[in-house]
């Protein structure tokens, strides 16, 4: 940017430099999003792509969609028929339907799900080397709060929190020892068993797998993946 090319004049060089500096000065340091704006994106994850960074996983709810060809469409259609909806109508969401963004709920140590998420972080995730801090817990509590307002079953909402916020972080060598001295594979199995107990009575919607089923698949895949536990490995 500071050099001359092809015997150009000082005046031409000055004009290019002024435009470049002007563009930098006009770029704001931050952008304010209105409170009713949500950022939603889709990505493919396979051997040709990079995985999401921990910073992204900490700040977003990650939904993994299965191949629709493999889904049980009869069960899904049977469930849809239970709703009194005109499926021919278009889906339109207004700003009022989305609602404003609000601060995450405060962390109250004695609240049942705050305590359960803290237990998962302390007893399982931290020994696995998986970071799950206060931001992630409060964001999870915010999801549970919104789910209650929407009339969602609490166990179903908590199961989705696990699938959105915890399972996408599971990528490690299961043959190594965790920070508590136990093999990471055993810690992963203990995480699975703890979740199974916490989700007793869960009745998932048709065609959806639970976090326990996803963990069963992950544990079974370890031996065929050189001991590497990878939630995204299919």
Phi first, then psi, for residue 173 (nearest 5°) are -85, 110
CA distance 128 to 215: 14
123's CB contacts (< 8 A; 6+ apart) are 190, 194
Q: Please state, rounded to an integer, the average pLDDT across all residues of the chain.
A: 87
What pLDDT, on a 0 to 100 scale, did the predictor assign at position 58? 87
pLDDT value at position 7? 62
Report pLDDT digits (tens) over 70-104.
788 888 788 777 777 777 888 887 777 777 778 88
Reduced to 3 states (helix: H, G, I; strand: E, B; else coil), residue 228 is strand
pLDDT at 5: 63
Expressed in angstroms, the distance from the first to the final Cα of the chain is 47
pLDDT tens digits, 139-177 = 999 999 999 988 899 999 999 999 999 999 999 999 999
**Dihedral angle of Cα 186, 134, 233, 205, to the nearest 10 degrees:** 100
Say yes or no to pLDDT of 46 above 90: no
Secondary structure (3-state) at 102? coil
What pLDDT is recorded for position 168? Answer: 94
Evaluate whether 96 touches 90 at the Cβ level (below 8 Å). Answer: no
Q: What was the pLDDT predicted at 202?
A: 92
Residue 145, burial from CB neighbour count under 10 angstroms (0-12, 13-18, 19+): middle
How high is the pLDDT of residue 45?
80
Q: Which of 57-66, 97-106, 123-132, 155-164 has the lowest mean pLDDT?
A: 97-106
Q: Spell out the residues 6+ positions from residue 232 whose beta carbon is closer than 8 angstroms to its own.
A: 45, 51, 64, 168, 171
Q: How far is CA 166 from the centre of its chain?
A: 8
Residues 6+ away with beta carbon under 8 Å from 184: 127, 128, 129, 172, 173, 174, 175, 176, 177, 178, 229
pLDDT digits (tens, 9 = 90+) for 188-224: 999 999 999 999 999 887 778 899 999 999 999 999 9
Q: Is the pLDDT of residue 1 over 60?
A: no
């Amino acid at each position: 940017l500071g050099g001359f090319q092809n015997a150009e004049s000082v005046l031409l060089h000055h004009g290019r430099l002024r435009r470049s500096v002007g563009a930098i000065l006009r770029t704001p340091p931050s952008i304010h999003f209105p409170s009713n704006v949500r950022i939603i994106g889709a990505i493919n994850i396979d051997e040709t792509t990079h995985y999401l960074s921990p910073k992204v996983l900490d700040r977003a709810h990650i939904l993994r969609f299965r191949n629709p060809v493999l889904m049980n469409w009869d069960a899904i259609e049977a469930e849809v028929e239970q709703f009194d909806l005109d499926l021919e109508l278009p889906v339109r969401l207004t700003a009022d339907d989305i609602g404003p963004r609000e601060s995450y709920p405060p962390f109250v140590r004695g609240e049942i799900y705050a305590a359960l998420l803290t237990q998962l972080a302390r007893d399982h995730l931290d020994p696995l080397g998986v970071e799950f801090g206060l931001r992630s817990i409060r964001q999870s509590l915010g999801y549970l709060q919104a789910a209650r307002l929407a009339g969602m079953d609490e166990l179903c909402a908590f199961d989705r929190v696990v699938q959105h916020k915890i399972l996408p972080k599971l990528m490690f060598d299961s043959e190594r020892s965790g920070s508590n001295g136990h093999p990471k594979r055993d810690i992963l199995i203990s995480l699975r068993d703890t979740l199974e107990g916490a989700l007793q009575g869960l009745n998932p919607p048709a065609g959806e797998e639970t976090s326990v089923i996803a963990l069963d698949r992950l544990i079974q895949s370890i031996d065929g993946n050189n001991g590497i536990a990878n939630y995204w490995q299919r």
